[in-house]
Chain A
Amino acid sequence: MSELSTLARPYAEAVFKRALEGNSAAEWSDMLAFLSVVIQDQEMSVIIANPKVSQQQLTQLLLDICQDQLKEEGVNLVKLLVQNDRIILTPQISALYESYKAEHEGYVDVDVMSAYALSKEEQKKFASKLEKKLNKKVHITTSIDKSLIGGFLAKAGDTVIDGSIKGQLQQLAKKL
């Protein structure tokens, strides 16, 4: 995993720089997301791993699948990745690209898990609090996890803010 992202980094950086120059950050984002889905498909991964499928065949197959989804530069990226035998890195490239984009635009993606569904208003309040704490704009995605019992658990990248009853119980258990 770590080795893969090391390999993916130069590609992601190059794509991101190109996207900034061409003012097409959102476009690239869509292209990479679509490509990753395709690459992660089970049948597709069998084909990629198959040594009998030549690079040309693979490129053609991918381009046929994607068709209009890829712009000209996207097509070039696919060709380059296939040629370098790095097409399986696409999900990592996509993830790294998103993190560069987020950093550039100054926001963080925050996953908020709570025991019960949050109302629109609560979400808004939550977002403004987190923005203050993290000093960045936040994009919130919410999910429900009953095992938390109560409270919330927010994840922004590596940082975890644990305000759940489950977490507190664990703290108490450690203290005892």
Chain B
Amino acid sequence: MQLNPSEISDLIKKKIENFDVNVEAHTEGTVVSVTDGIVRVHGLSEAMQGEMLEFPGNSYGMALNLERDSVGVVMLGAYQHITEGDTVKCTGKILEVPVGEALLGRVVDGLGNAIDGKGAIETTETSPVEKIAPGVIARQSVDQPVQLGLKSIDSMIPVGRGQRELIIGDRQTGKTAIAIDAIINQKGTGVKCIYVAIGQKRSSIANVVRKLEEHDALAHTIIVVASASESAALQFIAPYTGCSMGEFFRDKGEDALIIYDDLTKQAWAYRQMSLLLRRPPGREAYPGDVFYIHSRLLERASRINAEEVEKLTGGKVKGKTGSLTALPIIETQGGDVSAFVPTNVISITDGQIFLESDLFNSGIRPAVNAGLSVSRVGGAAQTKIIKKLGGGIRLDLAQYRELAAFAQFASDLDESTRKQIERGQRVTELMKQDQYSPMSVAEMGVSLHAANAGFLDDLEVSKVRDFEAALQSYMKSEEADLMQKINDTGDYSDEIKKGIQSAIEAFIKTSSW
């Protein structure tokens, strides 16, 4: 067996020295029955709702149902060793998990224990998993962007820091891909990321971790895992755990981005627990408070003002706002967004990115349906250049959608209609983007400008992406100063506009695509 660093005899000696013996008074109960991870405990008259209860063999449970003579407890983790008649102790605390910088780059389970084999996590701070969201006075409106690095999203459905933007779509439509690209694009921006995997296969989680490592994005990311093989209670808790870890950064005046992948499975886990606890089933057999589990979770994603940060840090951090941006993911069945959980989460969030399998299969990736996707607050946070250029793109695509049905009669159409259809086809083509290749603001600006200024109109549709790729590499090598300037300021002044225009004209003369 390997010696772990906390097993050095000096350390143990010190711990024993500092150990203060106190006579503890606690409440005890006895296990009456154990069924499917639900334990009924007799006694425990002083147990609180949500309290951690200590079982023999160093295992814990959470008190969920407080009844007249008994308490319904959900076990966190293994319960096979619990037998009838075991004593259960109250701890007087609700579940707490470790938080802090040390978690960055690590993979942890729903209780904050490391599961990546890199040793124990050295943190001193812990935080309860369930907290009340910041109040009205503590908040500030969303006015800074989170760049996801995807042209189609950043230009049409912008996300701001502190916003909750739902990613919704059927299975295999690239929901996770968007989330991973978003994490990769936060490299070097100071935005900390938390990826919460709920009810997923361990193999796909391992894939995500590997991809993030490959793109050097794991260092600013915490991965919270409650895989499909873990108990329903842990799958239910994991999002709250991740949220507490994100709030740590928000509360000290930094920005964080959290991805819940996916909340449908959390609702399933909660449904399982509730049915086993014999709570009455409602629509689709979900319990009555299934709306509340998501609303209280997503309400915690917020932007807080500088005064609140100052108060929370005890005056150490001044003049900085903090934010926690949430990208919850919901999986629909057969494109049905009117099912119970999808409608709930759509109504809670500040907009949704709607992905469609038809688009995905016809090669439009990311498969964003621009008509149904909205961002209710992100517009205020967009950088100027993307905002100005994105408006044109949105309009082009909207007009194209109306006329797309007539596209096959192209020869019989009048000039302006034909032009709109052709523009739409090219813009749709331009919105395609490879996975794991997020773009900077300047790169996006150049591509969007090319579309708006009509440079794509003379190209064949199939050449659009080659043109874009060549243009980007030209800009990178020949116009690095201009690109740097756009990235720094985010402006779309006349000077920059002219700069881009003349650069693209110069590029076209090389006709190197």
**A residues adjacent to B (C-beta < 8 A):** 1-2, 5-6, 155, 157-163, 167-168, 171-172, 174-176
Contact = CB atoms under 8 A, between A and B. Distances in A.
B26 A159 contact: yes
Nearest to B47: A158
Of A162, A172, A174, chain B has the most CB atoms within 10 Å of the CB of A162
Contacts of A2: 32, 40, 42, 67, 69-70
A158 B28 contact: yes
A80 to B, nearest CB: 22
B488 interface: no
B89 to A, nearest CB: 8
Nearest to B90: A158
B1 interface: no
B25 interface: yes
B25 A159 contact: yes
Contacts, number: 53
A161 B25 contact: yes
Interface in B433-490: none
B68 interface: yes
A168 B21 contact: yes
A158 B69 contact: no
Contacts of A155: 28
A147 to B, nearest CB: 14
B32 A158 contact: no
Contact of B24 (A5, A162, A172): A162
Of B21, B42, B58, B67, chain A has the most CB atoms within 10 Å of the CB of B21
A172 B40 CA distance: 29
Contacts of A174: 58
Interface of B: 12, 15-16, 19, 21, 23-29, 32, 40, 42-46, 58, 67-70, 89
A176 B12 contact: yes
18 contacts: A1-B42, A2-B32, A2-B69, A6-B68, A158-B27, A158-B28, A158-B29, A158-B43, A158-B44, A159-B26, A159-B28, A160-B27, A161-B23, A161-B24, A162-B26, A163-B23, A168-B21, A171-B21
Nearest to A165: B21
B32 to A, nearest CB: 5
A163 to B, nearest CB: 4
Given A158-B29, A158-B43, A171 B67 contact: no
A35 B97 CA distance: 51
Contacts of B19: 171-172, 175
A175 B14 CA distance: 12
A174 B42 CA distance: 25
A160 to B, nearest CB: 5
B11 to A, nearest CB: 9
Given A2-B40, A175-B15, A176-B12, A160 B28 contact: yes
B24 A171 contact: yes
A167 B24 contact: yes
A6 B23 contact: no
Contacts of B29: 158
A158 B89 CA distance: 10
User: 3 closest pairs, A vs B, by CB?
Assistant: A2-B70, A2-B69, A163-B23
A171 B69 CA distance: 29
Contacts of A176: 12, 15-16
Nearest to B24: A162
Of B26, B32, B67, B69, chain A has the most CB atoms within 10 Å of the CB of B69
Contacts of B15: 175-176
Given A158-B43, A160-B26, A5 B16 contact: no
Given A158-B43, A172-B16, A175-B15, A5 B26 contact: no
